[in-house]
């Protein structure tokens, strides 16, 4: 019976099954529906199949097959990305790396760890914490996101202010190129290789240059001490100025986060509330770390700087448990939007810190113009803004207005000398907005660079750069939708 069924199968699916085994290929419509988007839900597409290779050899074999058959394909980790980098546009084969999830090696002497791409970010820290080490990049999705995905997106996180983003922690990688060739870049223990920085190029290439199948990362000794502070403000502008004051006073906190009133409302009505007052306009969550002896004075300095900006209350976490609760509250902030809104769109602009009050004012204007609430959660220390635009996809026109609001937020960021993404990537979402920061020539130059690795554009096509003629497509789509809705 099964044999007959198999004969009816798409020959490509059959060949994929030969490489990775029958149970490691999904192809039925219902199974693929779950792969129609990642954490960015505004654009969905149907994949042709999803394959789950078990090792580099299988990844390479699958890639060679798809390359030969001229079938587009996408690498996918946990699918927690926020710009649609792992979302199919239609007809791609998704290569899911979640079954390659081993921690291959920990070398404390050289302070490195070697992981497979599907290894979950937080698991690395959990695996080495008992020996006093940790992995620094900590995107908010670290409970689920994979290190492979982090490399693709050059993921950041709350602690990137002091410790840098993913690219600062990657020392080497094994990569399957879009034609199936397997190469290694970087060498463990050697900080800088002669020749071009291919590792730097690969990190943050949003899965368009190659598929990483093994990653060597830097691990750090956990700081001796840590203090976490919360500061509640009655005025957003004062809070923003306090951020600038802290940085310009020469203090470098490990993390310096900010949430505004709407964001606080969301996290407090969601699953990890910690009792923030609901009538404040902004809060700062600050963590300082390092040698125990120096922490007290840093805490005092920060408290004093906040006081000068008329803070309502500053408090220090009593113990690690309380600090952990504050962080869980902050890190689940995006997901918490579900508690106050059916859908949200998160933006990821970066601005010079000093322009924070001005930009926040403009975002408020955008919210007024579009009639959509916008919550703000951001890595204030490095000026990485996350406006969360709240909408209800079921209400006609809201999704379009949300997209418009998002785009306008990015425009504001670009205009004050910032840029359109700090850590979430361009993906599908910000393709057009690339024009806010690059000229046509600059974009063309980047595409030529991509073509060196990915000449047929089979690997994650349609991501990262503006699509020719997209404008006309969108108009057509809206027209069709209107007609369908009658």
Binding site for another protein (CB under 8 A): 26, 28-31, 33-39, 41, 50, 52, 78-80, 96, 98-99, 101, 118, 120, 141, 143-145, 270-272, 332-339, 342-344, 392
Spatial contact of 159 and 255, defined as CB atoms under 8 Å apart: yes
Nearer to another protein, 333 or 466 (CB): 333
Least spacing, CB of residue 86 vs another protein, in Å? 11
Burial string for 168-206 (b: 16+ CB within 10 Å, else e) reads: ebbbbbbbbbbbbebeebbeeeeeeeeeeebbebbbbbb
CB atoms under 10 Å from CB of 220, counted, come to 15
Least spacing, CB of residue 37 vs another protein, in Å? 7
Spatial contact of 166 and 424, defined as CB atoms under 8 Å apart: no
**What is the C-alpha separation between 304 and 307, in angstroms, rounded?**
5
* DSSP per residue, 316-355: E-SSHHHHHHHHHHHHTHHHHGGGT-SEEEE---B--GGG
Least spacing, CB of residue 318 vs another protein, in Å? 19
**What is the C-alpha separation between 440 and 420, in angstroms, rounded?**
16
Nearer to another protein, 238 or 265 (CB): 265
Burial string for 425-441 (b: 16+ CB within 10 Å, else e) reads: bbbbbbbbbbebbbeee
Least spacing, CB of residue 219 vs another protein, in Å? 20
DSSP classification of residue 426: -
In angstroms, the Cα distances linking 153 to 207, 324, 394 are 8, 26, 30
Nearer to another protein, 300 or 392 (CB): 392
Bridge partner residues of 96 (DSSP): 76
E-strand ranges in 199-281 read 211-218, 220-221, 225-233, 255-260
Least spacing, CB of residue 32 vs another protein, in Å? 9
Nearer to another protein, 149 or 186 (CB): 149
Nearer to another protein, 130 or 441 (CB): 130
Spatial contact of 146 and 97, defined as CB atoms under 8 Å apart: yes
Least spacing, CB of residue 31 vs another protein, in Å? 5
Nearer to another protein, 38 or 289 (CB): 38
Least spacing, CB of residue 97 vs another protein, in Å? 9
Spatial contact of 155 and 139, defined as CB atoms under 8 Å apart: yes
Least spacing, CB of residue 276 vs another protein, in Å? 15
Nearer to another protein, 67 or 379 (CB): 379
Spatial contact of 349 and 406, defined as CB atoms under 8 Å apart: no
């Amino acid at each position: 019976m099964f044999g007959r069924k198999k004969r009816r199968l798409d020959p490509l699916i059959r060949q994929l099954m030969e490489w990775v085994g029958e149970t490691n290929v999904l192809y039925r419509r219902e199974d693929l529906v779950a792969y129609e988007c990642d954490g960015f839900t505004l654009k969905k597409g149907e994949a042709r199949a999803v394959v789950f290779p078990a090792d580099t050899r299988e990844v390479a074999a699958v890639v060679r097959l798809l390359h030969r058959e001229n079938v587009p394909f996408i690498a996918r980790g946990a699918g927690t990305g926020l710009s649609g980098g792992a979302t199919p546009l239609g007809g791609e084969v998704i290569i899911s790396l979640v079954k390659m999830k081993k921690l291959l090696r920990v070398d404390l002497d050289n302070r490195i760890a070697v992981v497979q791409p599907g290894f979950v970010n937080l698991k690395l820290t959990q695996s080495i914490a008992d020996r006093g080490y940790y992995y620094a990049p900590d995107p908010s999705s670290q409970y689920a996101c994979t290190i492979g995905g982090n490399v693709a997106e050059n993921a950041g996180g709350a602690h990137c202010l002091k410790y840098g983003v993913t690219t600062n922690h990657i020392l080497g990688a094994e990569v399957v190129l879009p034609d199936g060739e397997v190469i290694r870049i970087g060498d463990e223990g050697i900080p800088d290789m002669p020749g071009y920085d291919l590792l730097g190029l690969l990190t943050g290439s949003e899965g368009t240059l190659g598929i990483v199948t093994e990653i060597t990362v830097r691990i750090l000794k956990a700081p001796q001490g840590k203090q976490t502070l919360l500061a509640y403000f009655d005025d957003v502008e004062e809070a923003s100025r306090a951020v600038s004051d802290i940085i310009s006073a020469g203090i470098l906190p490990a993390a310096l986060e900010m949430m505004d009133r709407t964001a606080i409302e969301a996290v407090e009505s969601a699953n990890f509330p910690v009792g923030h007052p609901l009538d404040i306009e902004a809060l700062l969550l600050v963590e300082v770390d390092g040698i125990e002896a120096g922490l007290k004075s840093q805490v005092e300095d920060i408290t004093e700087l906040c006081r000068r900006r008329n803070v309502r209350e500053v408090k220090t976490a009593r113990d690690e448990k309380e600090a952990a609760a504050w962080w869980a509250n902050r890190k689940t902030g995006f997901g918490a939007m579900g508690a106050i809104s059916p859908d949200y769109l998160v933006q990821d602009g970066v601005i010079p810190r000093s322009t924070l009050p001005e930009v926040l004012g403009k975002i408020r204007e955008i919210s007024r113009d579009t009639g959509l609430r916008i919550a703000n959660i951001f890595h204030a220390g490095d000026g990485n803004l996350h406006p969360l635009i709240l909408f209800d996809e079921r209400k006609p026109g809201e999704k379009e207005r949300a997209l418009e609001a998002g785009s306008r937020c990015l425009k504001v960021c670009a205009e004050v000398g910032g840029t359109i993404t700090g850590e979430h990537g361009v993906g599908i979402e910000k393709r057009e907005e690339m024009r806010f920061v690059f000229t046509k020539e600059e974009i063309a130059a980047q595409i030529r660079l991509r073509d060196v690795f990915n000449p047929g554009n089979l690997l994650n096509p349609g991501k990262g750069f503006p699509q020719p003629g997209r404008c006309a497509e969108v108009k057509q789509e809206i027209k069709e939708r209107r007609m369908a809705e009658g």
